[in-house]
Amino acid sequence: MTNRNLLKIAEEFGTPVYVYDAESIKVQYEKLTSSFHRNTRFFYAAKALTNINILKYVNNLGAGLDCVSINEVKLGLKAGFPSHKILFTPNCVDLAEIEEAMELKVHINIDNISILEQFGNRYAGSYPIFVRINPHIFAGGNYKISTGHIDSKFGISIHQLRHIERIMNSTGLRIEGLHMHTGSEIKDPDVFLQGLDIMFELSEHFPELKYIDMGSGFKVPYQKDDLETDVPSLGKKVDHALKEFSKKTGKKVDLWFEPGKFLVSKSGHFLVKANVIKHTTATVFAGVNSGFNHLIRPMFYDSYHVIENLSNPKGTERIYTVVGNICETDTFAWDRKITEVREGDILVFRNAGAYGFEMSSNFNSRLKPAEVLFIEGKAKLIRKREEFEDLLKNQVEVL
């Protein structure tokens, strides 16, 4: 997909608009499948982007689906994923949501002792499950996206292994999968191998073990000099580790990963229009027709997105602070070099496919943007831009 394609999409569908390149998703998925061989499967982390068309496309590629809410499970089933290719990994939900997932016959992953006890007492050996382990490994791009450290709300501590075993022994609970996820944006691939070693050590305590799920965290580059997880190298190391584990123990397990951002981040391009150029005593602001209600990652995670001026690509570089139209501090980028921005120019935020639209809101009563899928050379609308009536849709007037 070229910049010319993006400008045509902005003209046809208006801005702000999220655009996803299907071919990019396919390339990322094939990069994984060609790098890992020994009993390895990939489950797309739906929370990154749940548009039903993206889910259908990923399903057609051959992936499974990782879900963190019951509605993601339902979306996955509606998109065509078979139940046996869906893993449900919620946290801080009550047993009723777990039971609803049981009725849908998907894999269930439990991440705390309380629910594990309740589940074991009611269902014991009738429904095999996964258990999410907290390995106490600190990894990830920053604290907010690190999920395996000692103070994380996610998973059951490895130091509570005896408690898990007591529940298994007293209830007949069948645990067929072990799961861990240490965080996102992991730069060091050896973190995965460290986690895998922990899983191998734990495996001797689970005689019915069939699956080891390492979550994800594969890093994608957001800036020019950013590193990307060396997937081919990691694949070779993981294949070797699995081979040695099988030789040593006589056990064969399937290895699962849950890539989300890795599959869809690069595919996403967020198009906005420059509304105003505002000069202050020290700063030149490029104010655009969007805000953190549409792309919250820079404000929430301090994340970096390359920003380019599609309308004036050969202009002189100037320094801009790019801000949105929300009535809060709403900054996408400070002191960024961008070719000269004129009012009305179309700007693009790169790497916007993951957690962009998915985390959008109606803050300030502003409308959510449209979504477009660019596939086989054609731009197809996959979500209409909201209209004013959508703000009132579920409100109940009593006055």
- CATH code of 287's domain: 2.40.37.10
Asked if residue 345 belongs to a domain, the reply is: yes
- Is the pLDDT at 79 greater than 70? The verdict is yes
Q: Are residues 250 and 164 part of one domain?
A: yes
Domain boundary among the residues 213, 244, 260 is at 260
Two tokens at 67? Answer: 């879900």
Range of weakest confidence among 87-101, 165-179, 227-241? 227-241
Q: Are residues 53 and 74 part of one domain?
A: yes
Domain boundary among the residues 260, 284, 313 is at 260
| Structural domain total, the chain | 2
* 1-50 pLDDT tens trace: 999 999 999 999 999 999 999 999 999 999 999 999 878 999 999 999 99
Whole-angstrom Cα distance, residue 267 to residue 350? 8
Q: Which residues are catalytic?
A: 327
Mean per-residue pLDDT of the chain: 93
Within 8 A by CB and 6+ apart from 250, the residues are none
Buried b (16+ CB within 10 A) or exposed e, 231-253: beebbebbbebbeebeeeeeeeb
Q: Are residues 221 and 108 part of one domain?
A: yes
Q: pLDDT at position 262, please?
A: 95
How far is residue 153 CA from its own chain's centroid? 18
Within 8 A by CB and 6+ apart from 248, the residues are none
Q: pLDDT at position 183, please?
A: 63
Within 8 A by CB and 6+ apart from 101, the residues are 70, 73, 88, 108
The answer to whether the peptide bond before residue 16 is cis (omega within 30 degrees of 0) is yes
> Could you tell me the CA-to-CA distances from 327 to 9, 51, 65, 333 in Å, in that order?
28, 28, 37, 17
* 43-77 pLDDT tens trace: 999 999 999 999 999 999 999 999 999 999 999 99
At what angle are helices 113-123 and 161-171 packed, to 10 degrees? 10
Cβ neighbour number for residue 325 with a 10 Å cutoff? 18
Amino acid at 348: V
Q: What is the pTM of this model?
A: 0.93
Asked if residue 21 belongs to a domain, the reply is: no
355 is in an annotated binding site: yes
With cut-offs at 50, 70 and 90, classify the pLDDT of residue 187.
low
* 356-376 pLDDT tens trace: 999 999 999 999 999 999 999
301 is in an annotated binding site: yes
Q: Are residues 228 and 180 part of one domain?
A: yes
The CATH number of residue 41's host domain is 3.20.20.10
